[in-house]
């Protein structure tokens, strides 16, 4: 997948507007950061490599229209609205490029977090279609971190993370938001890009508005919760063919769940799955409980049971981990618990629970992933 420029358009600079997250002027070079931007970098995991308050993005494509809009609930109070006139033959035919200031080196983990919502979309479910990619913004437009996301009609915090497989010079890297998947209007808020962290969302507290649902009674008093257990609208979904979207789910906490549709079995089950960030570091010998609340809505298994692989791991090469298991998931909601003890340490911002879906053709709904530490041996 590539993104090729057609007719670039520039929206006006918002540096002095109230839509910016930072009250001070934007930085003009990486060495001239404002105190506000430096404070944000200090609060985030990894190293901040863009200016989130800059919504002066390159927007291009046939018939595209863009404008800044107010969004009182978002950091900075604003967003960029992009209207696609028609569905394209390729997702990248309409795009908005958010600049990255730093150079990117092979092997670096690059993580992108952003708020987005769909105003309207000519799709069967009314949800928008958004491609995202980190890429070089000059020929041959090489890139990585390709993801195709479904964007709902309410503001949500989305996250994509990947290991760079190429070098991109300073000033040439962008986050490419690709919008030609439908005739649609999507709004994208300030975008944070960091290097060297597996998750931004885990540090920001997740994307769900309001207080999270209470801890299931089966887990009460068993340890300290260190995952945002129901922020499934922010969890990265990856792998060939695997599709994820938030759905209404009777009986689930908050009435919502993440539906995961795996259309075919693939050779290596862990090549398709779901990543759930763990907000805390894991120390060697930590005793933990990992609990998954899920149900199967479609499976080819004779007993009607779906199977999800599970692993606690570092979300960066060499992906060291532990607690490898396969969870049986039936047609009714069930909280499946796994007690484990870590044989390794994993730094804060790098620990995740990986759920592997590629082992079968199946559809499951996940309504919570709870990670507890401090469990008595």
What does the pLDDT read at residue 353?
A: 95
Q: How far apart are CA 360 and CA 136, in angstroms?
A: 36
| 377 residues of the chain, pLDDT tens digit each | 444 333 333 332 222 222 233 333 333 334 466 777 787 888 788 899 999 989 999 999 999 999 999 988 788 889 999 999 999 999 999 999 999 999 999 989 899 999 999 999 999 888 899 999 999 999 899 999 888 888 888 888 888 888 899 999 999 999 999 999 999 999 999 999 999 887 777 655 444 434 456 789 899 889 999 888 888 877 888 888 888 888 889 888 878 899 999 999 998 999 889 999 888 889 999 999 999 999 999 998 888 899 999 999 998 778 899 999 999 999 999 999 999 999 999 987 789 999 999 999 999 999 999 999 987 65
Residue whose C-alpha is closest to residue 186's, from 158, 217, 227? 158
What does the pLDDT read at residue 245?
A: 84
Residue whose C-alpha is closest to residue 161's, from 146, 142, 177? 146
What does the pLDDT read at residue 7?
A: 31
What does the pLDDT read at residue 32?
A: 60
Residue whose C-alpha is closest to residue 60's, from 150, 177, 149, 187? 177
Q: How far apart are CA 282 and CA 347, in angstroms?
A: 7
Q: How far apart are CA 246 and CA 11, in angstroms?
A: 32
Phi/psi of residue 91, each to 5°? -60, -35
Residue whose C-alpha is closest to residue 131's, from 147, 116, 120, 144? 147
Is the fold of 9-197 the same as that of 217-373?
yes
- The Cα-based distances of 153 to 119, 133, 188, 224, 347 in angstroms read 6, 22, 12, 33, 35
DSSP code for 168: B
What does the pLDDT read at residue 16?
A: 25
Q: How far apart are CA 112 and CA 201, in angstroms?
A: 9
* CATH dotted code for 217-373: 2.60.120.260
Where does residue 218 fall: left (phi above 0), alpha (psi -120 to 50 degrees), or beta otherwise?
Answer: alpha
Angle at 321 between CA 272 and CA 227, to 5 degrees: 75
* CATH dotted code for 9-197: 2.60.120.260
What does the pLDDT read at residue 319?
A: 86
pTM: predicted TM-score of the whole model, two decimal places: 0.57
DSSP code for 128: E
For the chain, what are the domain ranges? 9-197, 217-373
SS3 267: coil
Residue corresponding to tokens 């999507």: 186
């Amino acid at each position: 997948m590539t993104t090729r420029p057609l007719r670039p358009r520039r929206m006006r600079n918002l540096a002095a507007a109230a839509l910016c997250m930072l009250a001070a002027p934007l930085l003009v070079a990486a060495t001239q950061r404002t105190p506000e931007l430096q404070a944000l970098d200090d609060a985030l995991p990894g190293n901040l490599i863009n200016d989130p308050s800059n919504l002066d993005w390159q927007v291009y494509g046939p018939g595209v229209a863009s404008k800044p809009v107010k969004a009182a609930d978002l950091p900075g109070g604003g967003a960029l609205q992009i209207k696609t006139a028609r569905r394209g033959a390729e997702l990248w035919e309409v795009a908005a490029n958010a600049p990255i200031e730093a150079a990117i080196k092979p092997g670096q983990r690059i993580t992108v977090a952003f708020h987005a919502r769909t105003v309207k979309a000519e799709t069967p479910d009314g949800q928008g279609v958004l491609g995202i990619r980190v890429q070089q913004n000059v020929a041959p437009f090489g890139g990585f971190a390709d993801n195709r996301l479904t964007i709902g009609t309410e503001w949500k915090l989305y996250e994509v993370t990947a290991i760079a497989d190429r070098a991109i010079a300073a000033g040439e890297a962008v986050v490419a938001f690709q919008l030609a998947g439908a005739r649609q209007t999507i709004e994208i808020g300030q975008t944070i890009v960091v290097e060297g962290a597996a998750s931004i969302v885990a540090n920001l507290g997740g994307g769900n508005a309001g207080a999270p649902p209470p801890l299931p009674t089966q887990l009460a008093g068993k340890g300290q919760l260190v995952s945002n257990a129901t922020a499934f609208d922010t969890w990265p979904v990856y792998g060939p063919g695997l599709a994820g979207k938030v759905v209404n789910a009777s009986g689930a906490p908050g009435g919502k769940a993440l539906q995961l549709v795996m259309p075919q079995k693939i050779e290596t089950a862990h090549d398709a799955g779901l990543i759930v960030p763990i907000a805390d570091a894991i120390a060697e010998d930590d005793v933990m409980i990992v609990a998954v609340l899920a149900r199967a809505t479609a499976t080819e298994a004779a007993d009607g049971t779906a199977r999800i692989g599970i692993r606690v791991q570092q979300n960066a090469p060499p992906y060291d981990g532990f607690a490898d298991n396969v969870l049986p998931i039936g047609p009714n909601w069930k909280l499946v618990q796994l007690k484990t003890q870590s044989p390794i340490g994993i730094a804060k911002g790098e620990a995740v629970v990986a759920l592997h879906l590629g082992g079968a053709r199946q559809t499951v709904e996940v309504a919570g992933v709870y990670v507890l530490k401090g469990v008595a041996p």
